[in-house]
Amino acid sequence: MAAEPVVYGASERPPRGDYARANADYTCAQDYAAYTSEDHDTYRRLYARQAALVPGRACDEFLAALPFLGASDHIPRFDQINERLRRATGWEIVGVPGLIPEVPFFTLLANRKFPVTDWIRTAAEFDYIVEPYIFHDLFGHVPLLFNPVFADHMQQYGKGGLKAHRLGACELLSRLYWYTIEFGLIRQKDGLRAYGAGIISSPGELRHAVESAEPARLPLEIERAMRTRYKIDSFQQTYFVIDSFQELFDKTAPDFAPIYARLIALQGRGRMVAI
C-alpha cells in the first residue's frame, strides 16, 4: 500500500513531497540523482550561514558532532552519514517524502531510525518555509543523534509516542517535543546554549532564543511544557531550559499516563492552557 500525504494544520498548498515514492512505512530511498546543482548550492549556502552562527550559541555536543555530517558544500548522502552514525550510537537516518503520520514516525524512532525529508527548499524559499525539509532535519536533528544520552532519549520518545497514541495524548506529548527536541535550551559552562533543532537550523531564532531579553526561559517542567501551546510560524515566547541531557532523560523517564489523565481532565474543563 502506498503512503498517503500528510498535512498538519491549515495549509494553502498541498504537501510538496512525492508520497508515491514512499514505502508503506513512509520511508523512501534518498533520490540523490534528483538534486539539481541549484539544490546543492542552496544547501551549501544554508550550511555556511548557519555554521557561522552556531559557535557560542549551539551546545558543545552539537558543535562536536557537526563535522560528522560530512561535506558542507553539497547535500550529503544519507548512506555515508549512516556509516558514522551506526558506529557512534546505532542510529540511522532514513529518507521520507515529508511529514509522516504519528504512528509511523514514533515507530521509526522507537527503532532508532530518524526520518529525514529528502528534498530541499527552492532558492526562492531560502529564508523561510514552515515544512521540515532536508536542511532542518539534517543540520538541526542529526548531530545530536551522535550523542549517546540524547540518542537514547530519542528512542524513548518514540516508544513514549506509541503509548501516547494509545492514550489519546499525542498533542500533549508533541508539545514536549516542541519545547525540548525542537526548541530546547541547555545551560552549559559558558552560558545558555541551544540544543533544539528548530532553533539550531534557524538564523533568526538562534539569536532570539539565546540572546534576546524578550522570551521567558523556565527550567524544564514536563507538565508545564505540555500545558504550553506553541506557534509554528513565529519565534517562541517561552523556552524550557535543562542543565544536561541526562536531566532530560531522567525527567522524561517516569510514566506519563497519570500526567496525561490529569491534563486531559483539566482540558475537559477548559483550564488546560497555561500561557
Would you name the residues annotated as active-site residues?
136, 141, 182, 201
Cell 541551544, residue located: 194
Helix H or strand E encompassing 217: strand 216-219
Nearest-CB residue for ligand PHE: 160
**Interstrand relation of 191-194 and 113-117 (parallel, antiparallel or unpaired):** unpaired
Question: Residue 70 CB, nearest distance to ligand PHE (Å)?
Answer: 29
- Calculate the dihedral angle through the C-alpha atoms of 39, 42, 47, 49, rounding to the nearest 10 degrees: 180
In the bound state with Fe ion, the residue whose beta carbon lies nearer, of 42 and 117, is 117
Question: Residue 73 CB, nearest distance to ligand PHE (Å)?
Answer: 35
- Measure Cα distances from 6 to 15, 100, 205 in Å: 7, 6, 26
Pick from 53, 252, 264, 272: which binds ligand PHE (CB under 6 A)? Answer: 252
- Measure Cα distances from 207 to 144, 238, 255 in Å: 20, 14, 35
Assign residue 143 a region (left: φ > 0; alpha: ψ between -120 and 50; beta: otherwise).
Answer: alpha
Q: How many residues bind ligand PHE (CB under 6 A)?
A: 10
Interface with Fe ion, residue 59, by CB under 5 A: no
Interface with ligand PHE, residue 132, by CB under 6 A: no
Stretch that binds ligand PHE, among 116-124, 127-135, 150-158, 211-219 (CB under 6 A): 150-158
Residue 197 binding partner per list Fe ion, ligand PHE, none, with a CB distance cut-off of 5 to 8 Å that depends on partner kind: Fe ion
In the bound state with ligand PHE, the residue whose beta carbon lies nearer, of 105 and 135, is 105
Interface with ligand PHE, residue 20, by CB under 6 A: no
Backbone angles phi, psi at 92, to 5 degrees: -140, 160
Interface with ligand PHE, residue 174, by CB under 6 A: no
Q: Contact letters (x/-) for ligand PHE, 176-205, by CB under 6 A?
A: ------------------------------
- At position 135, the amino acid (one-letter code) is F
Residues in the chain: 275
Binding site for ligand PHE (CB under 6 A): 153, 156-157, 160, 163, 252-256
